[in-house]
Amino acid sequence: MKLTSLILIPAVLLGACTGKPVRLADSPYALVPAGSVLVQHQDLVLPSNTYALQFQNGQQLHHNQIDQYYANCELESRNKADRPRTLKAGRYLIVRSSRYEDYAFLPVKLARIGIGVGIGIGDDFGVSDVFTYVLSMYLQSDQNPNIIRFNCTHWGTHADDDYLTLNVIRQTLHPLFSIKLPGEK
């Protein structure tokens, strides 16, 4: 009886310490499940000589207008358009998704090399402490078959930042796009 109590009481106390379960849309580590749908709510134009369209704060922007430190997304085409192409409003099936991070190579870090001979050279060879956090969603669409991927990213550091949550991505895309998980209306 004492042994059972010694095992049961700590287990109950530890179980009481757990909070509410994290919803998929609030988790920075959850993948968007296959079978989800990216809904494009209006026609968009892919300019000539480009592979992608960029979005931030509910607007389509030129790539040099994007603030990389904040949530932004990119709709990617399989091939470069030789003339402007209209992407009709419609639905894209998300067939899989993945998350990864990579170094953001920032030229500002290289300025340290000029401070003094040997100071800062060789410690990280100009690699910054800033990372690009990426959620890639691979798409299929009969209406726009050349559109293959939707990437949502932001820059951050390991100490301060994390992957974007689905809710943050939804906010940055509204009203141009929405993402519907399986079972959502």
The domains of the chain are located at 22-180
> Which residues of the chain fall short of a pLDDT of 70?
1-22, 105-128, 159
Report pTM: 0.76
* The pLDDT of residue 7: 53
* The pLDDT of residue 106: 61
User: What's the DSSP call for residue 184?
Assistant: -
Tell me if 29 sits within 8 A of 163, measured CB to CB.
yes
In DSSP terms, 96 is beta-bridged to: 138
Q: Give the 3-state secondary structure of residue 137.
A: strand
